[in-house]
Amino acid sequence: MGDFRKVKVEERQPENEISEKANAQRLSQPYKLTIDEQEQILVQAGIIIFVWKAGQNWPVEYVSSNITQFGYTPEDFYQKRILFAQIIHPDDLERITAEVARYSEAAYSKFDQNYRIMTADGKVRWVKDHTLVRRDHNGVITHYQGIVSDVTESKQTEKALIESEMRYRQMFEAHPTIRWLVDPETQQLVDVNPAAAQFYGYSREKMRQMRVTDLNVLSPDEIKARMSLAQSKKRSYFEVPHRLASGEIRLVEIYAVPINIGPRQLLYAVIHDITERKKAEEALRQSNRQLALLNQAVADLNSTLELDRVLANILDEVRFLLGVVACSIWLIEPETNELVCRQATEPHSQVVRGWRLPPGEGVAGWVVSNGRSLNIANAVEDERYYNGVDKRTGMITRSLLCVPLSHQQRVIGVIEVMDTEAGRFNKTEMSLIESLAGTASAAIENARLHQQLVNHAAELEAHVAQRTQELVAANQQLKELDRLKTKLIEDISHELRTPVANLSLYFDLLERGKPEKREQYMGVLRIKMQQLIRLTEDVLHVFRLDLFKEGVVFQALDLNQIVAERVSACRFQVEEAGLQLVVALAQRPLPILAEKRQIEQVITNLLLNAINYTPAGSVQVGTAVNQSQNEVCLWVQDTGQGILPDDIPYIFDRFYRGHNVAQQNKPGTGLGLSVVQDVVILHNGRIEVDSEPERGSTFRIWLPLVAEN
């Protein structure tokens, strides 16, 4: 190391780093300094000199003694062989290596670099390195001589100044967040940034002339109190409503801290518009509540495979989730491609249930055709809306939400949700019902498949019964009776489900509903109980008719005599209803072969229907004979409300009730006319009906005439 400790210093050091005497000597002529002289000058100037060899990681040949300011000693490099590359910060080493290579290849004799070094105790210091390149006579680099000075403090100061300036620009001028400077004494806006001007809708010049009270909706006293809290550092965060230039009110959060600018103490305020966030938080809370309810709905839908029960569960969940007035489920009938209302909620559910819509008609038809949901804010203004339901129910639908029920990319029906308030539904509620519709569609298909399996099982059972009858003739009647019993039980189960469910619902409302509505709930319960009793009685008639059809004993009877007896028995009901009773019987006996109790049931059912659905006027009963056709006729005519044309094809179906009848909430089961038709067919007769709405109805029963002997 001897030659390199006697280094010829050729470069002039900065005047602020060496003594004036040293400068004068250098300028006059170069000369060799002794090691002691060099180190004395370097120590005084705070400069460290390194000499390292060219090659791998730069082994140190010489280092001045004041390397101790970085925690090292010269012996660390001479004896422990610490390499110069090892003390350069890892993040800077690649850059410095590249720079050394670039300068060396370009045949430069010196270069300057700033980089970081690692001190012996692991700290980081910035240094300025003025390096001389030493070459041999062939121009090959042999050594580097670096003059290194610690510039950490100046770097930190420079960095702090730059960062401070950048922070200010970003924090106020260029920052997208709203910033204010406010005089807490006068509430004057001293300055605002461009983001504030854009948000509030004023120019910056205009805002600098405004006070906080011009923007804040709170009272001046409330504003002053909050400023006092911020000024005293007792509180720095506030949520307040602000008014924009447009008049719109927005909820903002303010972070305010006191700062000193010259002799004045101001409040520095950072403002964020949190209106949408608050709305989103509320929407998230609502979504969480709805998600919990939706999970419960999924569990409920998967709890049964009975289609009617599945549909009822779906509507119960929809009403509970959204709190709407009414909702319904319409399914596509594969045979006709019509939409049929399979289930509906109160009010007027009986009116809507069973309703049919041709393909593409109404909002439901549009949703089926397009496979997309519809949210209509005001149905009466939408040309797609079919108001036939409103006309019959008397309910004016405003908001309408219709969502398709799809299974395996095939629309099988729709869910309709209705309310009398306009603009009732939003996107979140639509998404909720769409989510429910996905699960509901699967549940409906599962129920249908289950029903198909049940039907298939019934068909197999009937086939087995038929084959068994061929083999064992004695069991034929028993199998037939069993089939009739099964069918009747299915019909009874189907029709009992709705009134029983209503009873359960209103008992629950009676326990947990509003006290002021308890009398209303009790009234509904009485009506439902009366309907259940009437249903039970009618079912018993149907049961007897189905069960003992094969064992009916016919005898010769006079139709006139049976009619006269039944008219006499019903005369009290006619008088109590305030109606006129007109009886016009044929002048001669009308012999028929019949079972007396069944013919009496036919006459009674027709008379009671006429009385129940005739508000005023008359009820006429008569008989006649058609000798040419060898028939007798029993006719019952009234001046009542009549039957709608759409209802006439279905009035003899079991449990069917006309739309206008259900709308008036008149008690009944829809079994009376079906019993009449079954008895007439059993007696080889036929039945006719003529009716006009609001003008009355006429029923004619034709039965075979038998010889008087």
Q: Phi and psi of 241, rounded to 5°?
A: -85, 135
| The predicted structure's pLDDT at residue 288 | 72
C-beta separation of 609 from 674 below 8 A? no
Residue 40 backbone dihedrals phi, psi, to 5 degrees: -65, -45
Is the pLDDT score of 318 beyond 90?
Answer: no
How many residues does this entry show for the chain? Answer: 709
Note the pLDDT tens digit of each residue in 184-241.
999 999 999 999 999 999 999 999 999 999 999 999 899 989 999 988 888 888 999 9
Hey, what are 118's tokens? 């690692």
The CA dihedral of 532, 536, 537, 540, to the nearest 10 degrees, is: 170
| The residue to which tokens 């659905």 are assigned | 613
Q: Strand ranges (DSSP E) for 301-353?
A: 326-332, 339-344
The pLDDT of residue 189: 93
**400 touches 420 (CB < 8 A):** no
Rounded to an integer, the average pLDDT of 546-570 is 83
Among 472-476, 496-500, 514-518, 536-540, name the most confident range. Answer: 514-518
**pLDDT given at position 300:** 62
Kindly state the average pLDDT of the residues 404-411: 86
Look at residues 562, 514, 513 and name the one whose alpha carbon lies nearest to residue 683. Answer: 562
**Phi then psi dihedrals of residue 392, to 5 deg:** -90, -30
One-letter amino acid at 67 equals I
Region of poorest pLDDT, from 83-87, 354-358, 499-503, 697-701: 499-503
Burial 235-246 (b: 16+ CB within 10 A, else e): eeebebebeeee
Contacts with 258 (C-beta within 8 Å, 6 or more apart), sequence order: 184, 230, 231, 233, 265, 266, 267, 268
Q: Which of 67-71, 428-432, 574-578, 608-612 has the lowest mean pLDDT?
A: 428-432
* 347 upstream amide cis, omega within 30 of 0: yes
Render pLDDT for 381-397 as a digit per residue (tens, 0 to 9): 888 887 777 777 777 88
End-to-end Cα spacing for the chain: 155
Give the pLDDT score at 96. 86
**Structure confidence at residue 20 (pLDDT):** 55
Contacts of 555 (CB under 8 A, 6+ apart): 593, 594, 595, 596
Residue 506 confidence (pLDDT) above 80: no
Per-residue pLDDT, 150: 87
**pLDDT for the residue numbered 169:** 63
Domains, the chain, in order of start with CATH, read 2-150 (3.30.450.20), 158-273 (3.30.450.20), 287-439 (3.30.450.40), 472-547 (1.10.287.130), 555-704 (3.30.565.10)
10 has a pLDDT exceeding 50: no
pLDDT at 7: 41
> Nearest 5°: phi and psi at 48?
-110, 135
State the pLDDT at residue 290: 66
Task: Provide the 10 A C-beta neighbour count for residue 476.
Answer: 14
Tokens at 705, concatenated:
């005439």
Residue-wise pLDDT tens digits, 126-159? 998 888 888 888 878 888 888 888 888 888 877 7
Local structure of 329: helix, strand or coil: strand
Listed residue (82, 85, 80, 78) closest to 58, CA to CA = 85
Residues linked to residue 125 through DSSP beta bridges, in sequence order:
117
Q: What is the pLDDT of residues 43-99, one digit of tens each?
A: 677 788 888 888 788 898 888 888 888 899 989 888 888 888 889 999 998 888 888
